[in-house]
Every structure is written in structure tokens, then in C-alpha cells.
Structure 1
Amino acid sequence: MNTTAVPPAPLDEVPAAQPRRTGWHLLDVTEVRHLTADTVAVTLDVPAALRDVFTHHPGRHVTVRHRRAGAELRRTYSICPPPHAPETLRLVIKRGGPGGFGDHATTRLARGDHLALSPPTGTFALPELPGAHHVLLAGGTGITPLAPMAAHVLRRDPACRVSLVHSVRTSADAVLADELAELKDEFVGRLTVLYVLTREDRGSGGDLPARRLDVAGLRRLLAAVDARPGPDTAFALCGPPGLIDTARRVLADAGADPSLVRWELFTAAGTAPRPPETTGPAPEAGEARVTALLDGRRRTATVQPHDPALLDALLRSHPDVPYACREGVCGSCRAKVLSGQVTADRQHALDERDRDAGYTLVCRARPRTPEITLDFDA
């Protein structure tokens, strides 16, 4: 998930009792705890009036809006509560490049500060599969949605077991290692945690010698945790695109059921957003009209030929349209195309089932027909 800068917009007044995908809420920071040299866990207070809005389940994420130097930074983070307090609204934030929100959070954010957050959203979740073997693969801070998923399913399903593989550069980068160790003690025999160190060779004292996870390495890992694709084995993957692409290919070659392979991507904080590729024909009239359904309301906008994506046209008059990364990674701007046609590139957050069902990412989509209707609520 990534950061992008846009002109600042005012906080929206959102009714507290109704969960919505849009709007921003100022929440108090109650704790900033350093997990590693460049990573902090930020806990936020959710007042009683907003508890329904911020009700979440493992795998969901929020977008943080931060103003800096007359511009606005947006960054998406998975909700990552500690295992002993699953209702807590906590974000794990890595520093990334200088000048971004991660830099601010890890060096200046303190108890008593306020953060503007969107309501939780997202579809990343483990399948309902009683008694399953859940195999979770995390790369770097991709551990943040997977650790809560592991805790949740272990407590909910006493017949399941979980194997969690965390790929990190060095042992010092293994965020949440202490919490996962406590979880292992609570679920002895049902939770296995394996660390792969890509830039640190600990010899016989480590889990594996230092190496990147290539196809051969992933196959060895699957064998090490006895992850045999079948109707009782589910997979959840979260990390950078290269790792997830390799893992999905390995699982497909092994015969894993695609419906039992769930995944989510992130990009390194501080990576500059790339402009969309201009693929596909433009409308004959040179512009298009887009109608968007969001939170039960209808919004319309005109897409000009120079607009990089549908999102840019919608934001001109409707700043509450959800988005964060503009990279096609976070999935915040996911919408279903009800009528008309779009073309889009690099929609990393969508899988084949999403695309077949008619979903697109508005930050990457461009019009192919003069009239388009989107449903963000679908």
C-alpha cells in the first residue's frame, strides 16, 4: 500500500451511528509503541458514538489522512489489534521514505495527537472452512493482517491449525514476534510460526539460512509445514507483489483450489505513484459521463480525455470518493461496473473472480464507453 499527495479537503461530518465507506473521523492516539527501529504500533481511542462505525474483523484496513506542507497524504494500514484485545483499533506503521506519513508516525506522533481515519473496509479474510489447515505467508509488514487472522481463527475454531511463515530481512525486522510467541504458547500444537531471514544467516540457530523466497524455496516451505493443497487446506498471502506472484504460481502448480487462496498486496511506503498506462480506446466524443453509487447516494462526473483515471474526474466534485494508493494495490476504490465498459491496467488488488464479477479499481480505470455506472457499495 502506498502514499499519495492531493490538495487538502475539509473533514466531512458523518453520522456516527451508520457505518460508511466515506467520511473522515478524528480519533485520539492513546499509545505509540516502538516495535522495531523503524516501526511503531499506534493505538487509537474509539469513542462510544463511533464504535459501530469502526467495528472490524481481521483483514480489514483503514485509510489515514495526514496534512503536510499544504498537501494531503493518504496511507492505508491493516487493522492489527494485539491478540489479547481483538477489538482494539491499532495500526502498525513502518517509517519508509523521508517526508511521508510513516516518517511522521515513527518520529513525531505521540499520545494525545489526533489522526483522521476512514471507516474500516476490505474483503481480505480467511474462508469459512471448519477444521482446516490455514497456511499464512507474510512478507515484511504483510504480517499485520495475518497475525490477527491467525488469532481469530484459532480461538473461533478449536479443530483448526495454523502455519504462519514470515519472510523478513533480519530477525530485528520481525514485528509482532513477541505477540506471536505468546500466541504459540496459548495454542501449543496448533500454531506453527516459521521465520525466513532474507539478509541474515543465523546458521544452525535460525529457522532457515538467509535467502529470498523463490519458487524452490517456497516449495520447501510448504513441505516443511505439511501444507498439502486440498479441500481442507486454505492459504492467505500478504506481502510485496513479487512474493505474492511467486507464491500464487507455486500454489497453482501444486493444484491448490483458487477459491482457497486469498491474498493482499502492499507496496513499499514512499514509492512514488506511477501514472496509469493509457491502454484501450477513448470514447468517440472525447469525454465520458460517470455515475457512481456510494453509501446509497448517486454522484456524477465528466471524465475529460486528459484525466488519468475515473477517480480523478470523480474527485473534482466528490472528494469523499474512497481511494488511497492510486497503485491498484490497496483496493480502497473497488467498484462494480453496472453499465458501460472500462479499461484498466495493473489492478493488483483484484483477482480473477473480482474481474469476472465486473469489479474494477477506479484509480486505474479509464472509460471505453461514453456512459458508465459504478457501484462502490456492491
Structure 2
Amino acid sequence: MTTTEQGTAAPTGPSAGWHRLRVARVRPLTDDAVALTLDLPDGPADAFAHRPGQHVTVRHVLHGTEIRRSYSICPPPFGRPELRLVVKRLGSGGFAEYAMTVLRAGETLDVAPPTGAFGLVEHPGAHQVMVAAGSGITPLLPMAAAALRADPRCRVSLIHTERTARSVLLADELADLKDAYVDRFQPLYLLTRETREAELLTGRLDATRLPALMRAVGAEPDGDTYFYLCGPWEMVTSVREALTAWGADPARTRVELFSAAPRDPAPPRAAPHGHRARITASFGGQTAVTAMTDQDRVVLDALLRARPDIPYSCREGLCGSCRAKVVHGSVTTGPQYVLGSAELAAGYTLACRARPETDETELDFDL
């Protein structure tokens, strides 16, 4: 995953602590993806209550090293609600390969409660236009199903770009959704490494092809149309720019990223006061105090020494798991893809992107 959307309501942060959840099923989806269904924990029924579009963080120790990954909650569109995560392998090693080759039903995973701001605009009768690349379909499928169930006047269009027909994730469930809402749900599949009969549906999604695809699904740049983009940085950035050039209002476009922008090879500028700044953090109703050292590049580095349970996942400013409000002092927030201008103005930051500007800085992860 990933995260996420610009300029919307503040994301809901995770409650303190982790839940050890049993893996109920491991279902192969494609040659490089599996679906993990997890048993919900005993205790409060709302511990994993979520809105369509939100994600959870999975923590696991692999070869002696703790890894964390964020995955969108993607229950099947029909049947009993499930806590299901779709894990796609993008390379060798890592949690995805472990999930595909080693993980079995009956084993357990540490999972943090749902978080994230990516989600549907509540606007009756709207045309919800969704654009997914690869595993970007995982938050959009439940969002599409929720919109179609809740609003009998809405339409949902999906443009899903993948390499080949064989690699399309959740194709059977998307087909079921089409059958159930044949007049209101229109999916189009754009394949980049396989030739389709329609030239429009063969090749990369770019600024030249986008207007024709919008016409194909009956989308208009204005009116009651909202756009949702989910995928890697390159796709989301190019499609968002193309939508703006086409005439769509940027305020009606919501995005979630599954990868960050290419890294700047230059090291980040050292933050003023960074070597002596004292950081106070409140999380889960408890407060801890620590100090930045010369080795700490961001606030999260210092906080984890004092509070290993501080929430985080991607460390790239993508998922929003480490969102906190600066209640005293000030920080510089580096490049990030979660917080909109209103949240930044209200004092929110991401601990994985924040560097202190004052000798005393206090963050609250519970606000």
C-alpha cells in the first residue's frame, strides 16, 4: 500500500498496540499474488472496524529482522465480511514472497488496527471513476462495491491497467460485481504487455489515451464526477496531471500511492537543533520523552528508542501510519504523500518525515 489521499478528511489513526491474528486462509490469486484471510480478534467488536479504502500494517520477523508492510483491507464484494489482505510479490525476498511460499493457515501475524484517509466522497448520484494499476485495485474494489450497495443512483467506472489478462487481480470478483450491477458498474481493462482487440485498451495509460478512456465510460470533467487513483507514483502522478489538463477539478481527485517518488541521491539537510532536540510523544494515553542524536535523520528514529510501539510502516511518507499532531514546538516535514494542505496547516506531520526545528517538540499520536 498504500497511502494516500490529498486534501480530504483527517485519517483515523490506529489504536495503541498490536493484535496477533490467526491466518484462516491463504488463497492463490495469480502467479505473484495471494489473498490472506485473517480471523478477527476476540475483544471489542470495533477493533478492526473500517471504511472501504483503509489499510492495516502487518508486522513480522523474517530472518531475524522485523519488517512492516501496509495492505489495503479488501473483503470480497459479496458474502460475509472478512478481514482479507491481498499480497503481491514485486521482487524476491520480503514479506510477499514469505506469504506466497511459506505462510500457511493456522499461523499468526501481528496486525495493527485500520487507518488511512483514502475513501469515497459521499455525494448521492455521483459518477465514481476509479483508476487502478496492479494491486491498486485492492482498496478500489471494496470502495466500488460499497458505493453501488449504498447509493442506487450512483455509477461506478473502473479503468484497471495490468500487464496481461492473466495478471489481473480479483478478476472473478470484478466480474461478479459487473453481473450484479450491470447497468451501473463498467470496468475496462488496459493491458500493457498483451494486445487486445481494441487498440484503446492496449498500451500504457497516458495523457493521450486518457480522454478517450473517459469518453468510453461516459465521464465528464465537471458535474457530479469524482476520481480515485491508486497505484505506483509514476501512474498516479501522470494520471492526475492528465485529468487536470482534461479539465477535472483537482479537488475532486483522491489518490493513494503504493510507491514513493524516485529518491533524491543527495542526503537530506540536517535539521536545526537536531542533535539536541528533546522529543515528547503521547500515544495510547502514555507519554515518553527522548532526544535526537547525530545518527537520527527523522523524529521517528528517536521515538522508536523510547516507544517501540509507535505506529509506522513504510517510512516513505506513503501510508500515514505515523501521523501525529505537533502540539508544542515545530518541525520540518519532508516530502510526503498523505497530508493535505489543511492538515499541514493544522499542525499535523508524519514522524517518518519530520525533523525538529525547536529544542523542545511535542507530538500527539492520539489526536
- TM-score of the superposition, structure 1-length normalised? 0.88
Kindly report the root-mean-square deviation, in angstroms, between the aligned alpha carbons of the 2 structures.
2.3
**Does residue 135 of the first structure (1) align with residue 124 of the second (2)?**
no
Letter in 2 for 1:372: T
CA 236–193 in structure 1, closer or farther in 2 if over 3 Å, else same: same
Alignment of 1:139-178 (within 5 A): 139-178=133-172
Alignment of 1:200-239 (within 5 A): 200-204=194-198, 208-209=201-202, 211-239=203-231
Offset at 1:23?
1.2
**Does residue 340 of the first structure (1) align with residue 329 of the second (2)?**
yes
Deviations 1:174-208 (A, max 9, x none): 1111101100110111001011111111234x861
Q: Which has the higher contact order (CA 8 A, sep 6+)?
A: 2
Deviations 1:272-318 (A, max 9, x none): 999994236411x8321122232333332211233011000000010
Question: Which is worse superposed, 161-170 or 194-203?
Answer: 194-203
Which of 355, 359, 367 aligns to 1:370? It is 359
Offset at 1:367?
1.1
CA 220–357 in structure 1, closer or farther in 2 if over 3 Å, else same: farther
SS at match of 1:313: helix
8 A Cα contact 1:275 1:308, kept in partner = no
How many residue pairs end up in the alignment?
357
Q: Measure, in 2, the Cα distance between the counterparts of 1:339 and 1:212.
A: 47
Question: Which is worse superposed, 140-149 or 114-123?
Answer: 114-123
Offset at 1:48?
4.0
**Percent identity between the two aligned chains:** 52
**Does residue 300 of the first structure (1) align with residue 289 of the second (2)?**
yes
1:8 matched to which residue of 2?
none
**Does residue 259 of the first structure (1) align with residue 251 of the second (2)?**
yes
2:236 matched to which residue of 1?
244
8 A Cα contact 1:230 1:256, kept in partner = yes
2:8 matched to which residue of 1?
none
8 A Cα contact 1:40 1:106, kept in partner = yes
Which of 49, 67, 72 aligns to 1:73? It is 67
Q: Measure, in 2, the Cα distance between the counterparts of 1:317 and 1:273.
A: 29
Which of 318, 330, 344 aligns to 1:329? It is 318
Q: Measure, in 2, the Cα distance between the counterparts of 1:55 and 1:103.
A: 28
**Does residue 185 of the first structure (1) align with residue 179 of the second (2)?**
yes
SS at match of 2:43: helix
Query: What runs of 5+ residues in structure 1 fail to find an aligned partner?
Result: 3-18
**Does residue 102 of the first structure (1) align with residue 96 of the second (2)?**
yes
Offset at 1:117?
0.5
Query: What runs of 5+ residues in structure 2 fail to find an aligned partner?
Result: 3-12
Deviations 1:322-365 (A, max 9, x none): 10111111111112223322223220223333333332211111
Letter in 2 for 1:299: A
8 A Cα contact 1:273 1:325, kept in partner = no
Q: Measure, in 2, the Cα distance between the counterparts of 1:134 and 1:180.
A: 16
Q: Measure, in 2, the Cα distance between the counterparts of 1:102 and 1:299.
A: 33
**Does residue 22 of the first structure (1) align with residue 19 of the second (2)?**
no
**Does residue 90 of the first structure (1) align with residue 76 of the second (2)?**
no
8 A Cα contact 2:211 2:246, kept in partner = no
Deviations 1:161-186 (A, max 9, x none): 10011111111111111101100110
- TM-score of the superposition, structure 2-length normalised? 0.91
1:278 matched to which residue of 2?
268
Q: Measure, in 2, the Cα distance between the counterparts of 1:66 and 1:324.
A: 11
**Does residue 360 of the first structure (1) align with residue 344 of the second (2)?**
no
Q: Measure, in 1, the Cα distance between the counterparts of 2:347 and 2:214.
A: 33
Deviations 1:22-61 (A, max 9, x none): 3111111111111101100110111442532111121111
CA 219–375 in structure 1, closer or farther in 2 if over 3 Å, else same: farther
Offset at 1:251?
2.4
SS at match of 1:251: helix
Offset at 1:89?
0.1
Q: Measure, in 2, the Cα distance between the counterparts of 1:291 and 1:319.
A: 14
